[in-house]
Structure 1
Amino acid sequence: MIAVDLRVPVGRPVPEVVDFVVGCERAGLHGVGIHDHHHSGRDVYVTLALAAAATSRLELYPATTNPLTRHALVLAATANALTEIAPGRVLLTLAPGFLSVERAGRAQARRAYLGEVVTAVRRLLAGETASLDGHELRMNNAAAPPARVLVLAAGPRMLELAGEVADGVLMLVGLDPRAVAAARAHVAAGARRAGRDPAGLEEILIVPTAVAPFEEALAWPRRWFRPGRPFLAYPSPANLHWLRLAGLDIPEDHRPEDLSPALAARVCDALGLFGPAEHCAERLLRARAETGADHVFLFPAHTEATGYALPVAEVAAFRDVIGPRLAAG
């Protein structure tokens, strides 16, 4: 059985989002990752805390947080407190930041600094002393076992960083077996460089998803995320690198509307789950057979304007079709 998580945005008042997360658990999903977007006016960790108290099985995490708008000690304390509410069900995921830091007027975190923060947070969660920016950090009352800390990685160097410093990786590389194998090699290279065993790292594949009739779903690569940023360059232009490894060479300066429908369909197959629920279930089973993936994070396709809509269709599709098909093997 593949563990399936789902991205849930903070697009509605917090009590409504929590009710939705409870529905995700009832639908049989394994986990939920929630936005850390301060500009929404809703806090991801308040939402996660309420969701943790309202659920009993669901794995919960921010999808994803960053090392700039929250200090490492704050991140550790928050993850630690969530672990006290939901032992064994909490992940902390970190990335350089996109919309959250952009709206705060900041540039994305440097890769090296992200690594320093991940290292510090892991040490704090383990009840150890950490160092960051020349300061010694301590945190009382560390829960055991601690929350795992994962790095969200889309490019080769970020994948290697995850291998070097994190408990695991959420990797956005598509589903093509050639791309997945290459991404895993980068994670392993980072781990070995740090003297770590790659086999001990957790892996979650981020899977772009559009559950819809084929004509609608396969049109996503031919759209813009927002003016000046094609859908295929969101959240990272590294998408195009992995597509090239899958045999699809699309220029970074491409205009989405210039992609042919046939090429868009090939892109969708390499990238994720695009089509009716039955097709998405079979594509996920094929990905498991081709890559051995056993944990995925469904990332519903959206534009900047639609990014806060709750993924109602995806939950229904998982409950009624995808989940039962995966369970049947």
Structure 2
Amino acid sequence: MRIGFMMVLSPREPILRFPDIASHAEEVGFDMAWLGESQMISKDAYMALALAARETKKIFLGPGVANPVTRHPTVLANTMAALNEIGKGRAVLGIGTGDSAVHTIGARPATVKQLRADVECMRALFTGDEVLINETPARLLTAGETVPIWISASQPRMLQLAGAVADGVVVMGGAEPGITEWQIDHVRRGAEAAGRSLDDVFVDLWFGISLADDTERAIQDVRPWATSQARFLARWKELPRSVEPFREEFERAFQEYDFFEHLSRHAKHATAISDEFVDFIAVAGPPERCAEKIRPLLDLKIDQLTFTLLPGGRMERISRFGKELMPLIENMNTTK
């Protein structure tokens, strides 16, 4: 089981902090570092990723996640080719339809059809093949090694698209095995419909986590992340039965959500959800409690667990993950 982390570099954090965090994460055993890409509310992800690529040797790096609305696929392909060159083959492109990066400028997320076309376009660009852009033949002259493309998905159509065309899928939902199993099944369906299998798709599950000796404190710490998931769930066309009791909270989160406070520890919309939902969807508490919450996920077809690295003492959080939680996960994984 690989372990990654995901964070958003806030406007108040120095951009050079991310390379330091990525280096420390590499030292304690993390395999992947994702950095949020949302141009109105965070420092530039690609500058920070390039700096981190220079300072690290093994850890994989990527935007978590890009979108084809604010960044044209030809521009994104060229940027990722450069990051892959700097990192000597360690770049991974995470891409979705667009969330805070899109909503903060009043734009609409990409459609599933558009995302599919853009993923296929970028894959061709990475290999140096000719594509048609606005009916004009075009080729990426900087193409080198191909860059893996992982689609961020939570709902059936996107999950099935990832299964059909992506190298990997970033499963957004939470640390709830019922939801995750349901989502992975949709990835499987998409893969099989395209003549592939689930084994052809790298599955990366993202979830909110706060490791703290005081469970109540941990629940409050991870609340902003859980609220972002509640807002997503409010617009799911199909809800797994396990989350039905929280439906009213999802609607409150959707109505109150401020994208300029997306994932902020000071987000006022975080009061829209209950402690019960936070504890249901996220991982919170002492190491042993966190490990037990994660245990059922290890029985699913998941290749990587990605922890949200919350703001406030990020280096210490990385250290605690490495010393106190990751060994427990490794032990559970080898003895299951």
Paired AA for residue 321 in structure 2: F
Task: Decide whether the 8 Å contact of 1:163 with 1:191 is kept in 2.
Answer: yes
SS at match of 2:205: strand
Equivalent position of 1:207 in the other structure:
207
Paired AA for residue 242 in structure 2: A
SS at match of 2:106: coil
Task: Decide whether the 8 Å contact of 2:203 with 2:301 is kept in 1.
Answer: no
Identical-residue share of aligned pairs (%):
26
Paired AA for residue 114 in structure 2: Y
Equivalent position of 2:257 in the other structure:
none
How far, CA to CA, are the matches of 1:309 and 1:31 in structure 2? 20
Deviations 1:237-289 (A, max 9, x none): 368966x433653214257868765x44xx624x231112332233323421x
Task: Decide whether the 8 Å contact of 2:77 with 2:125 is kept in 1.
Answer: yes
User: Which residues in structure 2 correspond to 1:3-152 (within 5 Å)?
Assistant: 3-11=2-10, 12-40=13-41, 42-144=43-145, 146-152=146-152
Q: 1:317 aligned to 317, 320, 323, which one? A: 320
| Structure 1, 152-161 or 188-197: larger mean CA deviation | 188-197
Task: Decide whether the 8 Å contact of 1:98 with 1:235 is kept in 2.
Answer: no
Paired AA for residue 211 in structure 1: L
Equivalent position of 1:250 in the other structure:
246
Gaps of 5+ in 1: 302-307
Task: Decide whether the 8 Å contact of 1:6 with 1:33 is kept in 2.
Answer: yes
How far, CA to CA, are the matches of 1:218 and 1:114 in structure 2? 35
Q: 1:181 to 1:224 in 2, by over 3 A?
A: closer
SS at match of 1:33: strand
TM-score relative to the length of structure 1? 0.83
Gaps of 5+ in 2: 254-269
Q: 1:235 to 1:59 in 2, by over 3 A?
A: farther
Task: Decide whether the 8 Å contact of 1:172 with 1:206 is kept in 2.
Answer: yes
Deviation at 1:81, TM superposition (A): 1.3
Q: 1:175 to 1:164 in 2, by over 3 A?
A: same
Equivalent position of 1:268 in the other structure:
279
How far, CA to CA, are the matches of 1:105 and 1:258 in structure 2? 23
Deviations 1:142-199 (A, max 9, x none): 222x110011001111111212221110011333333222212211222233333332
How far, CA to CA, are the matches of 1:102 and 1:175 in structure 2? 26
Paired AA for residue 318 in structure 2: V
Residue-pair matches, total = 311
Deviations 1:223-242 (A, max 9, x none): 677xxx94542455368966
Deviations 1:38-85 (A, max 9, x none): 224632111111101110011101011110111111111111111112
SS at match of 1:218: helix
Equivalent position of 2:160 in the other structure:
160
Q: 1:117 to 1:292 in 2, by over 3 A?
A: closer
How far, CA to CA, are the matches of 1:260 and 1:96 in structure 2? 28
Deviations 1:188-226 (A, max 9, x none): 2222333333321111011121223211233579x677x
How far, CA to CA, are the matches of 1:97 and 1:3 in structure 2? 26
Q: 1:192 to 1:287 in 2, by over 3 A?
A: closer
How far, CA to CA, are the matches of 1:128 and 1:88 in structure 2? 19
Task: Decide whether the 8 Å contact of 2:8 with 2:42 is kept in 1.
Answer: no
Task: Decide whether the 8 Å contact of 1:232 with 1:240 is kept in 2.
Answer: no
How far, CA to CA, are the matches of 2:232 and 2:28 in structure 1? 27
SS at match of 2:84: helix
SS at match of 2:83: helix
Equivalent position of 1:304 in the other structure:
none
Paired AA for residue 23 in structure 1: H
Q: 1:327 to 1:240 in 2, by over 3 A?
A: farther
TM-score relative to the length of structure 2? 0.82
